[in-house]
Amino acid sequence: MPIMPDTWIRRMAAEHGMIEPFVEAQRREGVISFGLSSYGYDARAAEEFKIFTNVDNAVVDPKAFSEEGFVTRKGPVCIIPPNSFVLTHTVEYFRIPRDVLVICLGKSTYARCGLIVNVTPLEPEWEGQVTIEISNTTPLPAKVYANEGVCQFLFLKGESPPEVSYADRRGKYMGQRGVALPRL
152 is in an annotated binding site: yes
129 is in an annotated binding site: no
Report whether 99 contacts 158 (CB < 8 A): yes
143 is in an annotated binding site: no
Report whether 157 contacts 4 (CB < 8 A): yes
46 is in an annotated binding site: no
Report whether 45 contacts 145 (CB < 8 A): yes
For CA atoms 106, 108, 111, 113, the dihedral sign is negative
Distance CA 135, CA 84 (A): 6
133 annotated active-site: yes
166 is in an annotated binding site: yes
Active-site option among 133, 148, 159, 163 = 133
What is the CB neighbour count within 10 angstroms for residue 24? 11
74 is in an annotated binding site: no
Could you tell me which of 132, 123, 129 has the C-alpha nearest to residue 85? 132
109 is in an annotated binding site: yes
Q: Helices in the chain by DSSP H: which ranges?
A: 6-16, 108-111
Helix (H, G, I), strand (E, B) or coil at 156: strand
Can you say which residues are annotated as belonging to the binding site for dCTP?
107-112, 152, 166, 172, 176
**Active site (catalytic) residues:** 133
